[in-house]
Structure 1
């Protein structure tokens, strides 16, 4: 078993791992480029001298400035929270493809509104635009992981959903570096800070036009009774004929899952809500999915993403240019490690192990950084006042070590908690609750994201180094949560997730359910081969009988 060896649930033709499924996942993941870019560019844009001068940040007090920055950042998350809930309605009635088309349009409208803001008009257009852009990315964040997981063969499902995370990091990489580039090459002006806002239109436009290429999810079409169209899309995505044994098995699994749903709780828009209200097992799955995003945001990642200049200033790095450069390197580290996570770790080490390792290592790094700031008094405890444009003084050995541990924290966090919760949530729900489950997960993500982004400036002003101890403690709690409650989902078919999450103890669930699925597939193949042999014998006997009759 090499690092890139695929862990298949059953013998799979090579044609299944084709360019079409990767292309569909890539196009859908332009949505995450929108999200990643915003999470990275907004913090450094708010620190640009041209932006702070145009909107008179220097005239504001520390608390007022912290509130303004928090509002600019957090109204986006508030919009995304509601967008993720709206997406459940659209994805149920309109499907995954049309929903992406609609939410990309909403995002483009919001991004366009922001371009009309000026110092004379105030921040109103930026607030309104960020709400609409948030609705767009919130809806997309709910739909894209489901869409990709429903297209994916089990062996590369983590890798394909991981493309969504990769898009997030590539968007973030551009967002982290763009303000460094324009601050070094352009003089402060209205156009200088407008450029980062305008770049949002690029990934939004790519998603909008890319939706015309996408095929609707076959699983959604099967669920809606559009069987002929579903088979057509599935054969196109898999590049296999409908009568191939792999296709027959996959369709049979989907049909069986739908029949089970009809028998257990029925199909319909309100049925998942009824199932959640009546079934404690379903409620438990929703709780687990939502809590994963509490722990993800509790790691401190969005405090760093949205307020990176403040975070680096708390360590002792000052000066606009130096702060932007350090932030850009942070983006590079995240992007490189996301490639490692995507192509090697997620489908090899699995989801559960990555979460445990990432939380343990990340917590240790946060404790070190907080202790350094406490002992040295670096950065005036991370005050959110506007940064000076002068370069920072050289760091002492402790400061260099703190920066090293910050990047080490990034190395632990990125290939674990950054994208893995999205992968698990795209897998863990059954056919009829998958859309509602992903809507709940996305809403949880944006809710906790909102809480962190809204109160981070105030936390740095009042807690100082305690912010790092706070995040370190939450990462320790996440280890306990994952160890006892989250099973490994790697390589398990979507139709077997109910059994996986019902098995106890959790640490053994994966191996037991994986073996059950393997035996069932073997029995299915033997039955299919036996049926083919019986049909062949019957046909031969008929031919012999006809031959005898002809001679007679």
Structure 2
């Protein structure tokens, strides 16, 4: 890299206006976030399906972890490979391909005769989940005006938790009404085919990312797309700014991983992205989202009661997501994230203390732990989940966005897979107390890392963020806000 881009956008952008274009933008976001809904359902459905699946297929603690983590390994590979593919194919075509992959993976799981075929189906679903976790947030961020980018991009995380809640509700209904059936877990998994079909046909009518089109030199198409989701005056001004920064970056930057490794500021923003992604998983949130029923059984609930009680964390996650979307344009990203890790650490400690101090035969024990779990999930969803995905979608310059997002999310899914694989083993070895005290220590470290290194991006265009990342100015600004 020969030097940083130093030119600034020539003028302030015209303000956002109401109209058909705003409704069109909302529709595009709704359709694209069906990818997030699928992400949520496929990761959440295992929570209730695992026990009947284990009974039918003879799964033990280690093979339960394998079935759960096989999706996550697939997601790690999908995040890197499909994220990069979207640079060549475009965001829209890639999301359509992901819808097909979601449907195919669901079909393989539903008709799996034994564990090996089931693992193949879970891996295919993981590829789709990983691809969606990378491509959909980038697609939304590249479509969104900077004034509402946080709340628009954050809708994907909201749909993820809606999908997880849907999985919990479906599991509870089917488990309590048809739990006597031998293949009930197959019905739980099969429902995922419906949103996959909606995503496929919906994306056929959606536009391509205008920023991706500009990067491909298709400026007229980009302007035509932007005019459908902005006022004409705003669309023209925004296209000029994107073109200006894109041309400067093409002149002064190599693309891909090589350019990142040669520039200390790009390498630093990549490490920040990796830290955001990995620490989000090390909160242990998916120990609840994947094994919540088992955790609640260990707390003292009966099996069917645990399935119903497990809906409570799903409900609070959705409520938290709505609050998080409201906060995105009102509170700085750094403040939100640091607050989140502080609260999560506190509730980890309290869960550990309650598990240790409240007698196992106490009638109050399961409800105390359930309340603390709900508080943990609520804190996570309100302050961390949405903010993490929004930050990952906006901190990387365009020329390294696929690489940065893909590699960060790859690391996220590897961390997710490791936590998911080892959590049942840890639960068996050290119980709830040891498991959640361990999470508390890790997240105390996360507070320090985010305080020292996390930059601020709220209220800025992607092009402005890109320029300051390239020069390193964003890291100084992050501490002052």
The TM-score with structure 2 as length reference comes to 0.92
Corresponding residue for 1:334?
Answer: 317
Cα pair distance change 1:11/1:394, threshold 3 Å: farther
Deviation per CA, 1:26-83: give whole Å up to 9, x if none: 11111111111122110211123xx3432235xxxxxxx1111001001101111111
Unpaired runs of 5+ residues, structure 1, are: 1-8, 58-64, 379-392, 511-552
Whether the 8 Å contact between 1:487 and 1:509 is mirrored in structure 2 is: no
1:425 partnered with 2:425? no
Match of residue 242, structure 2, among 238, 243, 254:
254
- CA shift for structure 1 position 187: 4.6
Please tell me whether residue 167 in structure 1 is matched to residue 135 in structure 2: no
Give the Cα separation in 2 of the matches to 1:56 and 1:90. 38
- In structure 2, C-alpha distance between the alignment counterparts of 1:73 and 1:52, rounded to whole Å: 12
For 1:494, the equivalent position in structure 2 comes to 462
1:136 aligns with 2:128: yes
Instruction: Name the structure 1 match of 2:4.
Output: none
Q: Encode CA deviations 1:168-210: one digit per residue, 9 max, x unaligned.
A: 0110111111111012222512342221110111121111111
Alignment of 1:87 onto 2:55 = no
**1:390 — aligned with what?**
none
Q: CA deviation at 1:305?
A: 0.9
Larger radius of gyration between Structure 1 and Structure 2: 1
Q: What is the alpha-carbon distance in structure 2 between the residues aligned to residue 196 and residue 399 of structure 1?
A: 26
Contact 1:486 1:506 in 2 (8 A): no
Please say which of residues 74-83 and 436-445 is displaced more in the overlay.
Answer: 436-445
1:100 CA drift (Å): 0.8
Instruction: Identify the match of residue 77 of structure 1 among 69, 72, 85.
Output: 72
Query: Which residue pairs with 1:153 in the alignment?
Result: 145
Q: Quote the RMSD (CA, aligned, Å).
A: 1.8
Cα pair distance change 1:153/1:448, threshold 3 Å? same
The whole-number CA distance in structure 2 between the counterparts of 1:187 and 1:463 is 30
| Correspondence 1:275-290 to 2 at 5 A | 275-290=259-274
Distance 1:52 1:70 in 2: 11
Of the three residues 482, 491, 494, the one matched with 2:450 is 482
Q: Is the 8 A contact 1:30 1:167 kept in 2?
A: yes
Residue number in structure 1 paired with 2:30: 26
Question: 1:268-307 to 2 correspondence within 5 Å?
Answer: 271-307=255-291
SS of the aligned residue for 1:213 comes to coil
Q: Secondary structure at the match of 1:415?
A: helix
Alignment deviations for residues 477-503 of structure 1 (CA, whole Å, 9 cap, x no partner): 111111111122111110111454423
Q: How many Å separate the matches in 1 of 2:468 and 2:440? A: 30
Deviates most, 73-82 or 181-190: 181-190
Is contact 1:484–1:506 with CA below 8 Å preserved after alignment? no
Secondary structure of the structure 2 residue equivalent to 1:12: coil
Counterpart of 1:56? 58
Contact map agreement 2:297 2:303 (CA 8 A) in 1: no
Matched residues in 2 for 1:484 and 1:11: separation?
A: 35
**1:171-190 paired onto structure 2 within 5 Å:** 171-190=163-182
Preserved CA contact (<8 Å) 1:74 1:454: yes
Residue 506 of structure 1, CA deviation: 4.6
Q: Which consecutive unaligned segments of at least 5 residues does structure 2 have?
A: 1-11
Could you tell me whether the CA contact under 8 Å between 2:279 and 2:443 is conserved in 1? yes
Q: Contact 2:99–2:199 at 8 Å: present in 1 too?
A: yes
1:75–1:127 contact (8 Å) kept in structure 2: yes
Q: Which residue of 2 aligns with 1:469?
A: 437
